[in-house]
Amino acid sequence: MTTLSIAPLAPLLDRLFAEADAATSPAMSALSREEWDRLMHSRTEYLRLYGLMKDLWLPVSRETGALLYMLARSTCAKSMVEFGTSFGISTLHLAAALRDNGGGRIITSEFEPSKVARAREHLAEGGLADLVEIREGDALKTLSVDLPEAIDLLLLDGAKSLYPDILSVVESRLKPGALIIADNADYCPEYLERLRMPGGGYISIPFAEDVELSMRAG
């Protein structure tokens, strides 16, 4: 048995995934496909876009959640950083791995206050709040200070256009062999080019349908 498969976390995740599937956003429904696509690729209007999407959960899939747990467990990760908390579904999977690894710390960042509040509630309900530090605000600022000396795992699941910038902020703290998991990385070709570049310091492959799985070489 694992923390992920028993109460209180297992039934909590079932409920949260169901709520995520049912969530709607009138603000996003009013956007044209062209405008949505433009905002998804913008490196200057990401706060506007994710403000419009504040009612949407934007979770990882169940399969990606399980993958996060397995990667963190199999590498005995103790120190993790997450870009894009949202309502905390991915954070719960990572925190479950930390619990089963014997402890550790996740630093995660979310700029939408209402999502921060809900994520805190979910982490408390899942009995994992003691393992997580949520930093509220723009991740380019909140993740630029007071990071651990050595980071075992980085999850990128916020504004896709900022993946290269967030990686640059955290990169010096990634230990050799650290894993980087980027959800929906296809929205940022620049990020994929950087991680897949021969001799660029990473080994990187597309994994499943919507995940780029990378490792810091060295």
pTM of the predicted protein model: 0.95
What pLDDT score was predicted for residue 95? 98
Query: Facing residues of 154 across strands?
Result: 81, 180
Any idea what DSSP says for residue 1?
Answer: -
Per-residue CA distances from 125 to 4, 96, 129 (Å): 13, 13, 8
What pLDDT score was predicted for residue 26? 84
> How would you write the pLDDT of the chain (218 residues) with one tens digit per residue?
999 999 999 999 999 999 999 999 887 788 888 987 888 888 888 888 888 889 988 899 999 999 999 999 999 999 999 999 999 999 999 999 999 999 999 999 999 999 999 999 999 999 999 999 999 999 999 999 999 999 999 999 999 999 999 999 999 999 999 999 999 999 999 999 999 999 999 999 998 878 999 999 97
